[in-house]
Amino acid sequence: MSLQGKKVILCVTGGIAAYKVPVVARGLTELGAQVRVVMTRSATRFVGAQTFAALTGHPVGSELFAAGAEVPHVELARGADLVLVAPATANAIAKVAIGISDDLMSATLLTARCPVLVAPAMHTEMWEHPATRANVATLTERGVHLVGPVSGALSSGDEGPGRMAEPDDIIAAAAAVLSTQQELAGRRFVVTAGGTQEPIDPVRFIGNRSSGRMGIDIAAEAARRGAKVTLVVGPITVPIPGDIDVVKVRTAEEMREAVLERASDADVIIKAAAVADWQADVHAERKLKKADGPPAIHLVPTPDILAELGSDPSLRKDGSVLVGFAAETEPDPAKLAELAEAKRASKGADVIVANDVSSHDSGFEVPTNRAVIASVSGTEDVGLVTKKALAAALVTRVAAALGRS
Ligand code: C5P
């Protein structure tokens, strides 16, 4: 395993586990990474800055405001391949979750656009507190990676979850994040997410319950593996990670325009959006008056963006991979696979992800999905998994298809 040329910012915060982190700094350096250490003031009470400076060959940062013209957190964050926080105290996790930037560590984290890996370490009570649970959920939702904590002896003499992962495991997790990151470097992805809203009048629309989560998890996964990702997204309810370009749209027509404009440059187009199937043939310029009685709304189909891309190769880059979704009310994986294959043929897509939207734990508005992925190399029954795990399975399949083209 080589991390040659990788720039890692190692943020050390004030927990007793900080005494183990020089081993992490040394391990990463030995693998070829260029490690720059940032310490919070309280971290320096547990381990000396000099230790890190000697192990990494670089001075240690701790002050937000330097005497020179450089802005330290901007300089540090720019060009970094990974920010690793070890140990990450409950306080550090809370600051990152909220976006506080009152010291060099937190300002660096707010500035960085690269992957972030966090190794929490704290007493069990703090780890299990609802505030920490919520903060950790916010971080993972944003695409931050976690290693540990593990269960074991804590400095308080207690046993339980909250102990920092061992240095070797932290190094392995950092290497894993850094290596998957490269797989799609130089590739352009266009991902659509969320539902569209088709206006009836200036305040009313036809829409659906899509949260946007599936498309966002796919976009985050592709970005994590080094792709340059544009997310074309309808009105949604979940946050979007920072390292993704976002194009906001509302209607199917707007989504079509945004996707087609970028299609000829894209190596991969993933249509995870729940595009409304119908739109009103005319929409009222002024709000329809209730007193005028129920309006007769005549619906016409929206443009089928996926089918258009699938049927006209001139719209897309040679060798690109086109992925669509099929929302089905079908819990049986074998039948789901048949539906996926049928949709793959009818849309001219390379890959179709068919998901079952008939149960409470799969489909719209929930963090899990039951799905099969159909492509030219066969169908894969992914089963009931988190949308993040389904995103990872899909991106792996897409990366393999790109490798073949
Ligand atoms: O035809 P159906 O709506 O079942 O197909 C779903 C797939 O087609 C999804 O990938 C969705 O994003 C895409 N789609 C589209 N334009 C539409 C309707 C669906 O691109 N108007």
Among 268, 278, 315, 325, name the best residue to mutate to test ligand 1's pocket (greatest count of ligand atoms within 8 A of Cβ).
Answer: 325
167-182 and 213-224 are packed helices; what angle lies between their axes, rounded to 10 degrees?
100
Ligand 1 contacts CB of residue 305 (under 6 A): yes
Q: Please report the atom of ligand 1 found closest to the CA of residue 324.
A: 10
Please report the domains of the chain, with CATH numbers, ordered by start residue: 7-179 (3.40.50.1950), 188-404 (3.40.50.10300)
Q: Please report the atom of ligand 1 found closest to the CA of residue 302.
A: 21
Ligand 1 contacts CB of residue 275 (under 6 A): yes
At 166 the pLDDT is: 94
| Residue with more model confidence, 259 or 114 | 259
Share of the chain above pLDDT 90, in %: 68
**Could you report the per-residue pLDDT of 115-135, keeping only the tens digit for each?**
899 999 999 999 999 999 999
Q: Is 75 exposed, middle or buried (0-12, 13-18, 19+ CB in 10 A)?
A: middle
Mean of pLDDT over the chain = 91
The arithmetic mean of pLDDT across residues 194-212, rounded, is 95
Ligand 1 contacts CB of residue 306 (under 6 A): yes
Using 50, 70 and 90 to split pLDDT, how confident is the model at 181?
low
For 63, 329, 344, 357, 390, the CA distances from 364, given in Å and listed in that order, are 46, 12, 21, 7, 14
Specify which of 73-82, 168-177, 316-325 reaches the highest per-range mean pLDDT: 316-325
At 63 the pLDDT is: 73
**Could you report the per-residue pLDDT of 273-294, keeping only the tens digit for each?**
999 999 999 989 999 999 999 9
pLDDT at 272 over 60: yes
**Could you report the per-residue pLDDT of 82-104, keeping only the tens digit for each?**
999 999 999 999 999 999 999 99
At 378 the pLDDT is: 87
Using 50, 70 and 90 to split pLDDT, how confident is the model at 360?
confident
Instruction: Decide: 233 and 160 in contact? Cβ < 8 Å.
Output: no
At 375 the pLDDT is: 92
Q: Please report the atom of ligand 1 found closest to the CA of residue 308.
A: 20
Look up residue 333 and give its two tokens. Answer: 């994986």
User: Which residue numbers are catalytic?
Assistant: 208
**Could you report the per-residue pLDDT of 162-179, keeping only the tens digit for each?**
999 999 999 999 998 888
Ligand 1 contacts CB of residue 349 (under 6 A): no
Using 50, 70 and 90 to split pLDDT, how confident is the model at 72?
low
| Residue with more model confidence, 234 or 67 | 234
What's the gap in Å between 305 CA and the centre of ligand 1? 7
Ordered DSSP codes for 230-270: EEEE-S-SS---TTSEEEE--SHHHHHHHHHHHHTT-SEEE
pLDDT at 48 over 90: yes
Cα gap 276→132, rounded to integer Å? 38
**Could you report the per-residue pLDDT of 26-46, keeping only the tens digit for each?**
999 999 999 999 999 999 999
What's the gap in Å between 232 CA and the centre of ligand 1? 14
The arithmetic mean of pLDDT across residues 364-391, rounded, is 86
Q: Please report the atom of ligand 1 found closest to the CA of residue 327.
A: 4
At 7 the pLDDT is: 92
Look up residue 223 and give its two tokens. Answer: 């970005």
Cβ count near 153 (within 10 Å): 10
Cα gap 269→61, rounded to integer Å? 41
DSSP state for residue 274 in the 8-state scheme: B
pLDDT at 69 over 60: no
DSSP state for residue 143 in the 8-state scheme: T
Which segment of 106-115, 156-165, 264-273, 304-313 scores lowest on mean pLDDT? 156-165
Ligand 1 contacts CB of residue 190 (under 6 A): no
Ordered DSSP codes for 56-106: HSSPPB--SS-SSSS-HHHHHHTT-SEEEEEEE-HHHHHHHHHT--SSHHH
Cα gap 282→378, rounded to integer Å? 43
Q: Which residue, by CA, sits nearest to atom 17 of ligand 1?
A: 304
Closest of 258, 256, 259, 273 to residue 196, by C-alpha: 273
